[in-house]
Amino acid sequence: MLKVANQVTKEYRVIIPDLPGHGNTTAPGITSYRASEQATRLEAFLNQAIGKRKIHLVGCSMGGLIAGTFAAMFPERIDTVTLICPAGLSMPKRSKLLQIYEDTGENYMRATTPDEFARLHSYMFHTPRKLPRWIAKAVAKERVKKGATLEQLMDDIWRDFQALDNKIDHIKSPCHVIWGYNDKVLDNSSIELLRKAIPKNQLTVHVLAQAGHAVHQEKHDEVAKLIHDYLNQINYKAIT
């Protein structure tokens, strides 16, 4: 998301926290990474960082699940929310990775070896990208190092597999959705659920052609422009 954020920061203050279990944020004593727990931690972080001011919240994939959960749990904190190919929604049409998992039991999301991660990486994009071997090795090494934390994260993601289904009608703020047309990880048929639960005048949807799950990487300029234009359209006032 950094390529997107770097373009949005030209007009808006952007805060990108590493949630527990991610990046350099430590997670001592944490036993659950479920979306509701992470949303509560995010709310506490925001209280320290900016006080009680409202925000425009952006989340991608698992971050989209957390962003949607946050918007449902803390509506008083949200002006608007952008969900980019969010996890946590039922898929009327199964994604390619879900088909593989249900048909064979293989869960590519739990990749811990260079070959497994390279295979997962190939499903992230509409146009396949060759992943340098040294990057696959480095990521696999980091995943092995995180061991128990990664396992807990993956377990909790599966527990929250459809967690947004019963929360989206609690999202009271305007909702902006961006999805790759060729998402092989989370099929964009989930948009049907959002259209049914969120009033038409509160929902803006953009599905980008020739883009997969990593739409924020394949189409980072377009995604940044869509977020920027959306904020301008609703006259969003930046936090200073």
> For the chain, which domains are there?
1-238 (3.40.50.1820)
Predicted confidence at residue 23, as pLDDT, reads 67
d(CA 115, CA 215): 23
pTM listed for this prediction = 0.90
pLDDT in tens, 191-227: 999 999 999 999 999 999 999 999 998 999 999 999 9
Strand pairing class (203-208; 175-180): parallel
C-beta separation of 227 from 176 below 8 A: yes
DSSP 13-47: -------TTSTT---TT-----HHHHHHHHHHHHH
Torsion angle of C-alpha atoms 133, 138, 142, 144, degrees rounded to 10: 50
Q: Are 45 and 18 in contact (CB under 8 A)?
A: no
pLDDT in tens, the chain (240 residues): 777 787 777 778 888 888 877 766 666 677 788 889 999 999 999 999 999 899 999 999 999 999 999 999 999 999 999 999 999 999 999 999 889 888 888 887 777 788 887 888 888 889 877 777 888 788 777 777 766 777 777 788 878 888 999 999 999 999 999 999 999 999 999 999 999 999 999 999 999 999 999 999 899 999 999 998 898 887 666 555
Helix (H), strand (E) at residue 191: helix 191-197
3-state SS class at 186? coil
The helix (H) or strand (E) run that includes residue 185 is none
